[in-house]
Amino acid sequence: MASFGDDRPASVTVRPELKPSQRPSREEAMEAVKTLIAWAGDDPQREGVIDTPKRVVDAYEEWFSGYRADPVKELSRTFEDVQGYDDIVMLRDIDVESHCEHHMAPFLGKAYVAYLPKDKVVGISKIARVVEIFSKRLQTQETMTQQICDAIEDSLAPGGVAILIDAEHQCMTTRGVHHKHVSTITTQFTGAFKEDRDLQRRFLDFCNRK
């Protein structure tokens, strides 16, 4: 299933988010959906789709709620009483529900996230929440993997971070080349996970356990 990670890029592009004043209104968004319905060849006033613009905008608010959440804030409450624990802390099978920024098609899969605490730990639900925040934005899987890693590195200063994401992209399975059941795996390793191949293999073994 898994492969070893590549070297970390020299820099990661930070995509600026729209200011609230730049964001179109809900009514403008619904009008845009009507335009797409008409462009597809249907009648926006037809009974079956007349309420579709409202439903699509409601869905978009949920699918892209990550733009209105702050991963740093989620990781800001930490605990220093770890009784000397310095081994792997790992969450497996975190659901990933995201949308490709190239086609706005869903990609769905699982994330595996681990870190080596030094002086502090964070509530395990916060790690899953960070994955959710970054996934609920227009994304590439590669960028999302790096963003999750960076957020944990910057907030917890751990001995190392390991990320693996395994997802199927509907922009590949339902259009274009139409290759079904093909998944994409991305990995990122920092610190001890990058330097110690035995530790890296432990993480990958955990990922492969059923």
Sign of the CA dihedral running 47, 56, 186, 142: positive
Active-site choice (153, 168, 170, 171) = 171
Q: What are the tokens at 185?
A: 């795996």
169 is known as an active-site residue: yes
Catalytic residue among 97, 103, 142, 153: 103
Q: Which helix (H) or strand (E) is 189 found in, with range?
A: strand 183-189
List the catalytic residue out of 74, 99, 100, 149: 100
Known catalytic membership, residue 149:
no
Looking at residue 118, what DSSP letter applies?
S
Of the candidates 101, 142, 153, 168, the residue annotated as catalytic is 101
The pairing of beta strand 89-100 with beta strand 138-139: parallel
Q: What whole-number distance in Å separates Cα of residue 193 and Cα of residue 21?
A: 43
**Angle CA(153)–CA(158)–CA(164) in degrees, nearest 5?**
60
Sequence length of the chain is 210
Give the max Cα distance, the chain.
65
132 is catalytic: no
Query: Given 74, 99, 139, 141, which residue is catalytic?
Result: 141
With residue 79 as reference, give the H or E element that holds it: strand 78-79
Name the active-site residue from 169, 188, 200, 207: 169
State which H helix or E strand residue 107 sits in.
strand 106-115
Active-site choice (27, 28, 102, 179) = 102
Please say if 102 is a catalytic residue: yes
List Cα–Cα distances, 140 to 109, 117, 145, in angstroms.
13, 28, 9
103 is catalytic: yes
Residue type present at position 101? E
Residue numbers annotated as active site: 100-103, 141, 169, 171
